[in-house]
């Protein structure tokens, strides 16, 4: 059994779309319908699926008969030509299809007959040109794509009036897949690494980005290495050799300037003026002190206390220590020299505090979306860095650390890796998903419309870089093909996602790699939107398709009804039940913290689930039972 696509839920969504939206016909289209009522002047009411339309017929017909019709006019009224005879006991569906193909001068290939039969069943209008284009695609399907996948992709293109282009078709059939994202990424990465014709700057930017996707915890691990290095530099018990190794490692990563010494490493930064409303990084706190006027000391004290009170990455005890230091400022003479001494003391205090908190608050951010490592870097560079630059510093630090021949450095890296592994929880998983999706840049086109978006950060995402690569004349055919496959995957997610009135569907495919373990993770969310345009968190259907090295294929069906959550896990492993039992209590508590109630966790095998599946797709949606997958 292989859960290869989202087609069942997509098709049930399509059925809803067809029911709710009025039938729009264009000249030349053909469709299958039934005569429901006859009116004078050869007008008739025709049933097409769940919908009815009034049209003028070229010849009189009989009520109850089903025919293929072709649209010959739409203005001022819909005019239809009868293409086939009625379906009767003696005239089968295949005979009707053959009549249609003959009358429209279409080939009678097996693929064309499948297409017509599919659109006849779906009760959708389609033109001769669309049929001929679709036949070409079905005859040349890539490996791993079934005809059913292709038919449903073509149906979606017709339903949503998408352009009938190969790019859209490839994107849709790729977006339906729940596996293979990891292999597509790996193939692209390998070809990119071997490519010698590509300009070096384009190649390096792409390599950095695919590495960032492959190692979603590298920045956090680098943050721990940074904190440990600073602890060695500030610890009087550290040997001179250890301090020099730590300082040189930070120099190589570009975190400390080359002229830094063991005596001045924390104070070699340029002074930049900072506006009061820009006080976010800890480094900006130091800048504010250095640029303050002595006669504004009271205002400075209030500003520093407000920042400290709002800094969630500091413990209450640390906040108290910082405030005690700030209070002493009022007791000293208000001079420039006093502020310089105070800034150095404040910097040392904050470096010590954030370094201590680096392990416990690994995946935590403050109100300004800054992490401990962001504050530490800002203290060393006095706030002159961006989040993008910070991540680059951490990746450089990790690269140099891993390649270092020094045993002490290797020990630091090993300890940091172990701590990250031991810190894996829901926050870590959320962080990994967000990191990978952000670096993929799947929806970067939509992000560009946001006036507050960081354009430099967007430009470093993978998707816009792929656009650049595909336009590069030096790209080899093999690398171009791999890039197009990867682009099709990302475009497919967007095309497969969408909304219909209050109903909304979101699909995300995420290639994940944790500590050498690789996993294809695909999420499909189906829910509804409230009148204010926000997601209704009370009702949802979420399917997780996971391909894992140890557990292999796993499908998780999570259904939310009035904030009551039911979870069903499908997997072939019979030993999951005892392993899952201890985790149910934690899941129940976690959901309760978000004001959800857990009704139950059920673990089933795929074969058993299939035998229990007795209702139709639409009935499943109404009853909210079972799981959608294809055998």
Instruction: Give the per-residue pLDDT at 287.
Output: 86
- Residue 247 backbone phi and psi in degrees, to 5: -65, -40
According to the model, what pLDDT value does residue 618 have? Answer: 35
pLDDT tier for residue 90 given thresholds of 50, 70 and 90: very low
Query: Where does the pLDDT of residue 10 fall: very low under 50, low under 70, confident under 90, or very high at 90 and above?
Result: very low
**Distance (Å, rounded) from C-alpha 489 to C-alpha 474?**
23
Note the pLDDT of residue 411: 94
Q: What Cα–Cα distance (Å) separates residue 244 from each residue in 189, 260, 377?
A: 36, 11, 19
- The tens digit of pLDDT for each residue in 136-192 reads 999 988 777 888 888 988 988 888 788 888 888 888 887 767 777 888 899 999 999
Query: Which token pair is 472?
Result: 């590069």
Establish whether the linkage from the previous residue to 76 is cis, with ω within 30° of 0.
yes
Which of 328-342, 412-426, 508-522 has the lowest average pLDDT? Answer: 508-522
Cβ 545 vs Cβ 608: under 8 Å: no
User: pLDDT category, 607, cuts 50, 70, 90?
Assistant: low
Rounded to whole angstroms, the Cα distance separating 66 from 34 reads 4
- Give the C-alpha separation, 365 to 353, whole Å: 15
Q: Report the b/e string of 72-82 with b at 16+ CB within 10 A.
A: eeeeeebbbbb
CA angle 448, 453, 458 (to 5 degrees): 65
pLDDT per residue as tens digits for the range 369-381:
889 999 999 888 7
What is the Cβ-side half-sphere exposure of residue 39, based on CA atoms within 13 angstroms? Answer: 9
Nearest to 154 by CA among 132, 180, 179: 132
Domains and CATH numbers, the chain: 7-175 (2.40.50.140), 270-383 (no CATH)
Is 50 exceeded by the pLDDT of residue 4?
no
Q: Average of pLDDT values for 117-124?
A: 87
Mean of the pLDDT values across residues 240-262?
90
**Cross-strand pairs, 577:** none
Helices and strands per DSSP (H, E), number in the chain: 25, 12
* Burial of 573 (C-beta count, 10 Å sphere; 0-12/13-18/19+): middle
Angle, vertex CA 311, rays to CA 310 and CA 314, nearest 5: 135
* pTM of the entire predicted model: 0.72
Give residue 574's pLDDT: 80
In this model, does residue 496 exceed pLDDT 70? yes
| pLDDT above 80 (res 497) | no
Give the phi and the psi of residue 569 in degrees, each rounded to 5.
Answer: -110, 125
Q: What is the pLDDT of residues 534-573, one digit of tens each?
A: 788 899 999 988 887 778 888 999 999 999 999 999 998 8
What value does the mean pLDDT take over residues 476-493? 87
């Amino acid at each position: 059994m292989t859960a290869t696509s989202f087609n069942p839920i997509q098709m049930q969504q399509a059925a809803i779309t067809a029911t709710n939206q009025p039938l729009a016909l264009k000249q030349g289209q053909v469709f299958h319908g039934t005569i429901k009522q006859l009116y004078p002047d050869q007008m008739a009411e025709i049933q097409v699926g769940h919908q009815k339309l009034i049209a003028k017929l070229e010849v009189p017909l009989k009520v109850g008969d089903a025919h293929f019709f072709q649209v010959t006019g739409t203005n001022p009224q819909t005019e239809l030509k009868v293409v086939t005879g009625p379906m009767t006991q003696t005239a089968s569906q295949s005979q009707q299809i053959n009549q249609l193909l003959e009358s429209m001068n279409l080939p009678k290939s097996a693929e064309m007959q499948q297409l017509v039969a599919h659109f006849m069943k779906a009760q959708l209008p389609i033109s001769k040109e669309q049929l001929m284009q679709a036949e070409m695609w079905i005859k040349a399907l890539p490996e791993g794509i079934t005809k059913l996948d292709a038919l449903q992709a073509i149906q979606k293109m017709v339903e949503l009036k998408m352009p009938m282009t190969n790019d859209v078709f490839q994107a849709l059939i790729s977006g339906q897949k729940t596996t293979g994202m990891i292999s597509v990424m790996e193939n692209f990465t390998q070809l990119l690494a071997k490519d010698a014709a590509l300009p070096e700057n384009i190649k390096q930017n792409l390599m950095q980005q695919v590495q960032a996707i492959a190692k979603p915890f590298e920045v956090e691990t680098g943050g721990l290495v940074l904190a440990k290095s600073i602890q060695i530099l500030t610890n009087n018990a550290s040997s001179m050799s250890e301090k020099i190794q730590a300082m040189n490692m930070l120099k190589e990563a570009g975190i400390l300037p080359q002229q830094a010494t063991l005596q001045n490493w924390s104070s070699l930064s340029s002074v930049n003026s900072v506006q009061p409303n820009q006080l976010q990084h800890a480094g900006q706190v130091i800048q504010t002190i250095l640029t303050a006027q002595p006669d504004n000391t009271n205002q400075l004290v209030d500003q520093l206390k407000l920042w400290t009170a709002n800094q969630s990455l500091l413990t209450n005890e640390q906040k108290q220590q910082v405030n005690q230091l700030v209070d002493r400022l009022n007791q000293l003479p208000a001079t420039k020299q006093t502020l310089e001494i105070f800034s150095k003391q404040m910097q040392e205090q904050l470096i010590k505090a954030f370094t201590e908190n680096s392990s416990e608050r690994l995946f935590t951010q403050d109100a300004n979306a800054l992490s401990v490592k962001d504050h530490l870097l800002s203290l060393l560079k006095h706030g002159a860095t961006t989040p993008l630059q910070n991540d680059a510093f951490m990746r450089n630090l990790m690269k140099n650390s891993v390649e270092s021949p020094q045993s002490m450095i290797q020990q630091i890296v090993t300890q940091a890796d172990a701590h990250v592994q031991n810190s894996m929880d829901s926050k870590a998983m959320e962080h990994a998903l967000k990191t990978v999706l952000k670096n993929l840049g799947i929806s970067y086109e939509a992000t560009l419309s946001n006036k507050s978006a960081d354009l430099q950060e967007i430009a470093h995402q993978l998707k816009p870089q792929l656009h650049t690569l595909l336009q590069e004349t030096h790209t080899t055919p093999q690398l171009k093909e791999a890039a197009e496959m990867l682009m099709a995957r990302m475009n497919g997610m967007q095309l497969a996602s969408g909304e219909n009135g209050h109903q909304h569907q979101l699909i995300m495919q995420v290639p994940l790699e944790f500590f050498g373990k690789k996993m294809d993770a695909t999420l499909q969310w189906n829910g509804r939107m409230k009148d204010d345009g926000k997601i209704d968190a009370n009702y949802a259907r979420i399917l997780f398709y996971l391909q894992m090295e140890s557990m292999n294929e796993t499908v998780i069906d999570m259904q939310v009804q009035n904030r009551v959550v039911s979870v069903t896990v499908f997997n072939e492993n019979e030993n999951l039940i005892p392993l899952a039992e201890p985790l149910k209590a934690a899941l129940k508590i976690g959901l309760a913290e978000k004001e959800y109630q857990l009704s139950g966790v059920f673990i089933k095998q795929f074969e058993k689930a299939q035998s229990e599946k007795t209702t139709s797709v639409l009935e499943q949606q109404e009853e909210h039972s079972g799981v959608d997958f294809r055998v």
